[in-house]
Amino acid sequence: MLWFIARAAESPGVRTDRYASHCQADRDERRGGSDLPGKAVQDRRLYPPPRRFLYIDRMKMLLLFVALPLSSQAMILADFPAGMPQADGWTWEYFSDRVMGGRSELVPPGITGAGGDRVLRLSGTVNTKGGGFIQARIRREKGAVDASSWKGIEATIEWPGGKATLRIPWSSFEGASAGRRELRPESLQSVALVAGEKDFQADLSIYRISFYR
């Protein structure tokens, strides 16, 4: 299963809360389907996030965002095909549940391909005995960013058997730590793509991450 986790500050310099949303690649697990980005399933589609969202409290995964002009239709955090691995003031970080004693194995992420096929690849083995996740996050190096002028996160990703551009509105994120239940996009610090919740071989290619209007 693929998770999107956003992190926002309660107020400048104060506690941060995590918010989570997830997407599912194949609804019919009883017929041998698997969750994104696991084993390929023929004719599999990526469905939009369901109305009921889950979250894993132990995960500390975040993806960050870069401030661009408000007149832009998109606030681009990373666009690998365009040769922009990260926006100014943002940085990528990678880790697995091993930071909390887990057993998942993260293959060192790297940029592969060229031109329009250039991607950031997130892959590894997810092991739920002791955690159960691997993740890539893009984090703002200093402070938070006001993303309230945008509607949510847009991500173009590919997994074995499919490729899609997802749009995940802020309203799809649910509180994943103590504090507020609703995400405050005016104080975002990071966002992450996380593969977890089940034992499987994860293989995800990230093309582009942005905020959309």
The whole model's pTM is what?
0.71
Q: 58 to each of 18, 52, 102, 171, how far by Cα in Å? A: 11, 19, 11, 22
59 confidence band (pLDDT: 50, 70, 90): very low
Q: Are 111 and 85 in contact (CB under 8 A)?
A: yes
Question: The domain that contains 94 carries what CATH number?
Answer: 2.60.120.430
**Statement: residue 16 has pLDDT above 90:** no
When divided into structural domains, the chain yields a total of 1
Q: Are 212 and 152 in contact (CB under 8 A)?
A: yes
101: alpha, beta or left, given left = phi > 0 and alpha = psi -120 to 50?
A: left
Listed residue (63, 75, 82) closest to 8, CA to CA: 63
Instruction: Note down the domain range covering 78.
Output: 2-212
Q: pLDDT tens, 151-197?
A: 999 999 999 999 999 999 999 988 776 566 788 899 999 999 999 98
